[in-house]
Amino acid sequence: METLAVKIRVGAPSDLLWIVFADPLCQSVPDRARRVEAALSRGECLVAMDGDTIAGYAILDASFFGQAFVPLLVVTLERRRGGIGTSLLIEAEARCNREKLFTRTSEFNLAAQRLFAKRGFVPSGRIENLDEVDDEFIFCKWLRRAA
């Protein structure tokens, strides 16, 4: 897919409806929509804009043992493999004020695993038994070393 120029910005509470429209899991998993709503209200959600349309979003918070963490990175189905996920990760890295940044994906999400590897994230663990289908893989990227 051709990469189009997208603008990454901090999401606003008014973006919630558009994010729910862009992310089908927000429509079927109420906890996910509530999580996105909370992140928007705290200024922890980055959105990728393609013109007036939200093409993806990422949450950047400190919910992983107090560490910088990207618990959700979502690109709309029709815009995947076009560089939007990369752009969101680059922006999350730039906004991260910690030495390292963690993220996660399911065992079967090979596209996300490739994206994380491409951005310099390394495997950092596996969490079993969160659901019956697959495990969660954790990844870490050192952004800067302590002086």
Model confidence at 138: pLDDT above 80? yes
- Between 50 and 11, the more confident residue is 11
Q: Strand ranges (DSSP E) for the chain?
A: 7-10, 45-50, 53-64, 67-75, 100-106, 122-127, 136-142
The mean pLDDT of the chain is: 89
Cα radius of gyration (the chain):
15
- For domain 7-142, give the CATH number: 3.40.630.30
CA angle 88, 53, 30 (to 5 degrees): 75
pLDDT tens readout for residues 32-79? 999 999 999 999 999 999 888 899 999 999 989 989 999 999 998 787
Q: What is the pTM of this model?
A: 0.89
